[in-house]
Amino acid sequence: MPGILTRGIILEQYKEPALNRPVREFFSSSYPGMLFESSLPREAEELGPEDIIRLAELAGIVDERDGEPLYRKLRQAAEQKVQIIVADAIDDEPYVSSQLGPMLKCSEEAAEGLRLAVKAAGAQKPYFAVYKNITDLMNKIPRTLEGITVKRIRGRYPAEFRTTDDFERGTSLAVLGVCSLIHLCRAVRDHRIQSTCFVTVAGNCVANPMNLEASAGMTVAQLLERCGLADDPGRVIVGGPMTGVACRDTEATVISAGTRAVLAFREDTKDRRYQCIGCGKCVECCPENLTPFYINKYIEKGRMEMLDFYEIDRCISCGTCSYVCPAKLDIADNIKAAKAARRKNTTGGLGDAR
């Protein structure tokens, strides 16, 4: 059974109460006018696969998993003749439920979008994928949603990159973000351009944590104000708590289609830094089976030539090594910086790998 022996860590998910609340709207004033012109019909049955892809292109839909345009992914899927389309609602980072929430609350649109994607790519089966290890849910996630099976992805964090393990071997599949599918459904029905994104606003500083559908271009400060701040936050993060970026100026940072969450925390007490004590916990939990202990040691000593031997390019930047480090070192960050420095040194290489 997949997921039992996976490497990684078990995280407290803290998705409630944001997950249980309805997805609220937070639009800018120009929202109603964000439509595009097209002569294509608005009924799903009358559209061909190429039409759906064209509508996705006109609407400018972006997949929130990786920032790639949806039409390009659908076209690739059609060319490679994938058999299964999976709508990714896996939120394996704590606090973040910006895919799971809309999937449950706007399930009709999500299912319709998924069926459209299946038609566009010429695939046979649709699936929803959710993360199994969420312990504090108030309502159970149903087994089928609008007639489509909901597949549970097992395993410890990080689970998103292991999605394909839970499906049968030999089947080819494409994974698309569920929010982009909701936008696809709206593009087909109302010819609406994607101008919003689903963002979770949560954290122990936020008075009313919830999932918002906010217009792109809103500042972080506006979102936090909408949900109410209980205290002056010590740390505001754009993105998930494991891989997100700390936000220094909430008035100047805006959200975009790829933003998943805005989190506000009170400052942690006594975030001391120690020297590495050589415990090896980072090695035990790395999901890609690397040795962050030695990589970090060589980065700190400046011996970059050893990093090839330790296969630093396989790192998926999940942040697990920094999480378990008892000395609170910034291992994941060091590795990210080293990878960036190496890529700069070897310009002209292939485009982004991982």
Partner 1 sequence: MQDKELKAPHIRMRESARSAMLDVVIALLPLYFMAAYFYGMRAVALGAVSAASAVAADMLCVLVSGRLPNLRDLSALVTGLLLPLMLPASIPYYVVITAAVFAIAVVKHPFGGVGQNIFNPAAGGFAFISVCWPSLVFSYPQPMFPLPIAGELTARLAESPAHALMLGAVPTIDTLDLVLGRFAGPMGVTNILVLGTCFIYLLFRKVISWQAPVAFLAAAAATAYFSPRIPASRWESVVFELLSGTLVFAGVFLLGDPVTSPKRGLSRFLYGALAGGATMLFRYCGGFEQAAAFALLLVNSFTLLIDHEAERLFRIVRRGILGFRAYRRSRRIVKKV
Q: Among residue numbers 247 through 286, which ones bind partner 1 (CB under 8 A)?
A: 247-250, 258, 263, 265, 268, 271-272, 274-281, 283-284
Pick the binder of partner 1 from 41, 333, 343, 349 (CB under 8 A).
333
Task: For the chain, list the strands marked E by DSSP.
Answer: 24-26, 84-88, 125-131, 144-145, 148-153, 173-177, 196-202, 210-215, 235-238, 245-246, 261-265
Q: Quickly tell me which residue has 């004590």 as its tokens.
A: 277
Pick the binder of partner 1 from 81, 303, 314, 343 (CB under 8 A).
314
User: Binding-site residue total for partner 1 (CB under 8 A)?
Assistant: 76
Give the CA count within 13 Å in the CB-facing half-sphere of 323: 20
Smallest separation (angstroms) from partner 1 to the CB of 233: 9
By CB under 8 A, tell whether 165 contacts partner 1.
yes
Nearer to partner 1, 30 or 124 (CB): 124
- Sequence letter at residue 222: Q
Q: Among residue numbers 66 through 125, which ones bind partner 1 (CB under 8 A)?
A: 66-68, 73, 76-77, 80, 82, 94
Q: Among residue numbers 218 through 237, which ones bind partner 1 (CB under 8 A)?
A: 234-237
**Per-residue b/e over 252-288, b at no fewer than 16 CB within 10 Å?**
ebbbebbbbbbbbbeeeeeeeeeeeeeeebbbebbbe
Smallest separation (angstroms) from partner 1 to the CB of 311: 6
For 249, residues 6+ apart whose C-beta sits below 8 A from its C-beta are none
Question: Measured between alpha carbons, how far is 212 from 97 in angstroms, rounded to an integer?
Answer: 10
Contact segment (CB under 8 A) with partner 1 among 112-120, 189-197, 206-214, 289-297 equals 289-297
Pick the binder of partner 1 from 164, 208, 219, 222 (CB under 8 A).
164
Smallest separation (angstroms) from partner 1 to the CB of 316: 6
CB 114 within 8 A of CB 126: yes
Site string for partner 1, 11-30 (x = CB under 8 A): x-------------------
Smallest separation (angstroms) from partner 1 to the CB of 94: 7
Pair type for strands 24-26 and 210-215: parallel
By CB under 8 A, tell whether 140 contacts partner 1.
no
Residue 17: is the preceding peptide bond cis (ω within 30°)? yes
